[in-house]
Amino acid sequence: MVIVETTDDVILFKKTYETQDSIVIPILSDINKHPIDNTLSLVYIQMLDGQEFIVPYNHSETLSGHNISLISDTTTYTYDKKLLGQVVAVGKCIDVNLLHYMKTNQPLSIEHLDTNAHNFFNMMYYKKENINVIIPVLKHLEYCRKLSDLLRATIETSSDSDTMTYNNDVLDNLSYIEQNGITTTEGMVYSQYNIYTSTGRPSNRYGGINFAALNKSDGSREKFISRYKNGVLVEMDYDGYHLRLIADRVGYEFPQGSVHQHMAKLYGVDYNEAKSLSFQYLYGYIPDEIKLNNEYFSKVSDYIDKLWIEYKSKEFILSDIYNKKIFRKNLTDMSANKLFNYTIQLMETENNMKALSRLIPTIENTKYQSDLVLYNYDAFLFDFNMEDGLDYLHEVKGILEQDGKFPLKVSWGLNYHEMKDITEKFVD
């Protein structure tokens, strides 16, 4: 093991690192801070041939760290690609936790890897900032070696090709949103997405805030504001999203306008009752009468039956967009309706990621200052600088609507609680 401190160490490390693939494990200075609001203490690198390096950035036992680039043409494997990319730039990077998740529908378990020294320091000095800076380097080495062994076991039994699109699109998209942060009346806060859920639908919580379930009625959203002097928050959310996603899948074409208004006419009820009935049928039981008299739900019923037959007859089924394998052995207590609901959430996530993979490069490589700061299921929140003009919002809306297949409602406000519907501003 080489601690990279001298010029000769740097030369040896670069020559080795740039010629072969490696496992890279970052150690942040502070375990209680978000990666964006943190610093690196050190980085552990294990080449796939077994050579080990520790690159110090900020640690009490080492000399001043070198500003060493970790960008190369080789492949980097890591436990958390999103975290790694937020603290240090690397080249091609594969998230090993994702590899494991795609095989088992469960994330890797690493809680047991902490050494006694880590547990002691974290317990005794839980209020102290940057605790990893004083935990002995050899103890970090012990932890990193155990984690590397765990990662190697997954690497050796997994195929990168099955996950690369998911690895690049999903993790990079969510990392981009996290890095933008969200401004509050108390300062900047950061979200943290977790894709390792049963359905793949990301949860999003950090610092005691559940960003995926911010209360709309208790005033807690009022503290979320724009970072710009001349700015507002703009939310775009899909109209009847799940109904439209399934319609696209089963070959049913809704007319222009509100999905729920369309269904209201078919049911012979008002808008609110139609909305309630549609969700009841979509996520629960479809009565025979509805199957016979409603073309949409007739197609949905056929799709549910087909999906269930496929699920029972094969080892796995594939998701529609990213070809994620949903292994039967990894799911328990499944039924036809439960599988369908599972599929809807996965369909929602993948369709959103496809849209974001078009949107983010567009808004990132332009003159615009506005930022995408939050994504929740069927909605996207932007910190909008008014200087960007409505052209920005038109462009964003057009990309997210995917050629008009998934219409969006638009609202804006000085804070996230007092939002006003401005959809009519975008009617041609």
Instruction: Clarify whether residues 136 and 59 are in a common domain.
Output: yes
Within a domain: residue 107? yes
pLDDT digits over 276-307, tens only?
Answer: 999 999 998 999 999 999 999 999 999 999 99
Within a domain: residue 28? yes
What residues contact residue 48 under an 8 Å CB cut-off, 6+ apart?
20, 21, 22, 23
Per-residue DSSP letter, 108:
P
pLDDT of residue 151: 97
Q: Sorting pLDDT into bands at 50, 70 and 90, what band is 17? A: very high
Instruction: Clarify whether residues 256 and 119 are in a common domain.
Output: no
Percent of the chain with pLDDT over 70: 99
Within a domain: residue 243? yes
Within a domain: residue 174? no
Number of domains in the chain: 2
> Residue 272 above 70 pLDDT?
yes
Within a domain: residue 69? yes
Instruction: Clarify whether residues 240 and 367 are in a common domain.
Output: yes
Instruction: Clarify whether residues 229 and 302 are in a common domain.
Output: yes
- Check residues 87 and 325 and name the one with the higher pLDDT: 87
Instruction: Clarify whether residues 29 and 101 are in a common domain.
Output: yes
Instruction: Clarify whether residues 235 and 379 are in a common domain.
Output: yes
Instruction: Clarify whether residues 236 and 294 are in a common domain.
Output: yes
pLDDT of residue 426: 83
pLDDT of residue 92: 92
pLDDT of residue 66: 66
Q: Sorting pLDDT into bands at 50, 70 and 90, what band is 162? A: low
- Check residues 368 and 148 and name the one with the higher pLDDT: 148
- Check residues 350 and 62 and name the one with the higher pLDDT: 350
pLDDT of residue 428: 62
- Check residues 5 and 366 and name the one with the higher pLDDT: 5
- Check residues 425 and 417 and name the one with the higher pLDDT: 417
| 63-72, 137-146, 292-301, 377-386: range with lowest mean pLDDT | 63-72
pLDDT of residue 104: 87
Instruction: Clarify whether residues 228 and 153 are in a common domain.
Output: no
> Residue 330 above 80 pLDDT?
yes
Task: Indicate the residue among 162, 178, 211 that finishes a domain.
Answer: 162
Instruction: Clarify whether residues 232 and 146 are in a common domain.
Output: no
Q: b vs e for 33-49, b when ≥16 Cβ sit within 10 Å of the residue's Cβ?
A: ebbbebebbbbbbbbee
Instruction: Clarify whether residues 229 and 297 are in a common domain.
Output: yes
CATH for 231? 3.30.70.370
Show the domain range for 127.
Answer: 2-162
Token readout for 142 is 């012990």
Distance from C-alpha of 60 to C-alpha of 83, rounded to nearest angstrom: 23
User: Of how many residues is the chain composed?
Assistant: 428
pLDDT of residue 384: 97
| 180-184, 314-318, 345-349: range with lowest mean pLDDT | 314-318
Sheet holding 22-28, edge to edge: 2-3, 52-56, 40-47, 22-28, 70-78, 90-95
CATH for 14? 3.30.420
Q: Sorting pLDDT into bands at 50, 70 and 90, what band is 354? A: very high
Mean of pLDDT values over 253-265: 93
pLDDT digits over 25-38, tens only?
Answer: 999 999 999 999 99
CA atoms within 13 A on the CB side of 47: 17
Within a domain: residue 33? yes
Mean of pLDDT values over 360-375: 89
pLDDT digits over 372-400, tens only?
Answer: 999 999 999 999 999 999 989 999 999 99
What would the 3-class secondary structure string for 284-333 be?
CCCCHHHHHHCHHHHHHHHHHHHHHHHHHHCCEEECCCCCCEEEHHHCCC
> Residue 367 above 90 pLDDT?
no
Q: Sorting pLDDT into bands at 50, 70 and 90, what band is 153? A: very high
Within a domain: residue 211? yes
Within a domain: residue 383? yes
In single-letter form, the type of residue at position 308 comes to W
> Residue 14 above 80 pLDDT?
yes
**Alpha-helical segments (H) within 156-195:** 164-180
Instruction: Clarify whether residues 96 and 154 are in a common domain.
Output: yes
Instruction: Clarify whether residues 276 and 135 are in a common domain.
Output: no
